[in-house]
Amino acid sequence: MNNQPLLEVRNLWKSFSHKEYQIEILKGIDLKIFKGNTIAITGASGVGKSTLLHILATLERPTKGKVFYKGQDLFQLSSDALARFRNQKLGFVFQFHYLLPEFTAWENVMLPALIAGWSEKKAKEQARRLLQEVGVYHRRNHRPGELSGGEQQRVAIARALVLEPELIWADEPTGNLDQNTAEKVQSLLFSIHQKTGITMIVATHNLKLASLFAICYELTQGQLIRKQC
């Protein structure tokens, strides 16, 4: 068995400086994520969950510390290489879907594949398969404004999966949805993990969502504390 973590975080610190003061958000985080793990990071509002997720997903740089992906020190990469890494290996689902309003559901899902150089035929076929999988194929020709919140989030999940990432990052993926719709999106995310074995990390207030995950941490006072899911 390969014991190398997919992602490893060593002594991660993050502070934000203001004119009069500095705030330390992350204070020496260590974490190992193995292939196929499902990890939920919970914690009070403002504690730094999004900041941590953004650094682990290389969207933001830490003040100090390192993030390794399969042993590669990510922040040593050039910004072009880092952008390529994100496009090829990572999928993102945010609280707000960030779908492009002028494109249909189908086009929104295809777009990352077209940008990555896939042929239109292959991108279209992959998007069709994913729209079916997330249950919105019947709305494929609707623009985001013509979809419900839950449908928009399903399209965003399909888009996150289109390039077959190794790791899915989700930041409050159900934060903007009513309870019923949130539960459907939760089960969808989880069923995707069950089918594909994809590694999934979510930051959330939602303890019900966290309870579906195998490994749970609470972020508190800049530290990650392992807890029961």
Ligand X SMILES: Nc1ncnc2c1ncn2[C@@H]1O[C@H](COP(=O)(O)OP(=O)(O)OP(=O)(O)O)[C@@H](O)[C@H]1O
Q: How far apart are CA 110 and CA 113, in angstroms?
A: 5
For the beta carbon of residue 194, count every other beta carbon within 10 angstroms.
Answer: 11
Structure tokens belonging to residue 9: 């975080």
Structure tokens belonging to residue 196: 């594909």
Contact status: 154 vs ligand X (CB under 6 A): no
Contact status: 224 vs ligand X (CB under 6 A): no
Using CB under 6 A as the criterion, what x/- string covers residues 19-38 for binding ligand X?
Answer: ------x-------------
Nearer to ligand X, 135 or 175 (CB): 175
Stretch touching ligand X by CB under 6 A, among 45-53, 68-76, 113-121, 154-162? 45-53
Q: Cβ distance 33 to 47 under 8 Å?
A: no
**What phi, psi does 77 have (nearest 5°)?**
-75, 155
Structure tokens belonging to residue 45: 């509002």
- Strands 215-220 and 223-227 turn out to be antiparallel
Structure tokens belonging to residue 25: 């958000």
Nearer to ligand X, 48 or 150 (CB): 48
Interface residue with ligand X, options 7, 9, 29, 47 (CB under 6 A): 47
Interface residue with ligand X, options 40, 43, 161, 202 (CB under 6 A): 43
Interface residue with ligand X, options 4, 36, 46, 187 (CB under 6 A): 46
| Residue 22 CA to its chain's centroid (Å) | 28
Alpha helix ranges (H) inside the chain: 49-56, 79-89, 105-115, 120-133, 149-161, 179-196, 207-210
Using CB under 6 A as the criterion, what x/- string covers residues 189-208 for binding ligand X?
Answer: ----------------x---
Interface residue with ligand X, options 8, 49, 58, 186 (CB under 6 A): 49
Interface residue with ligand X, options 51, 152, 174, 199 (CB under 6 A): 51
Contact status: 50 vs ligand X (CB under 6 A): yes
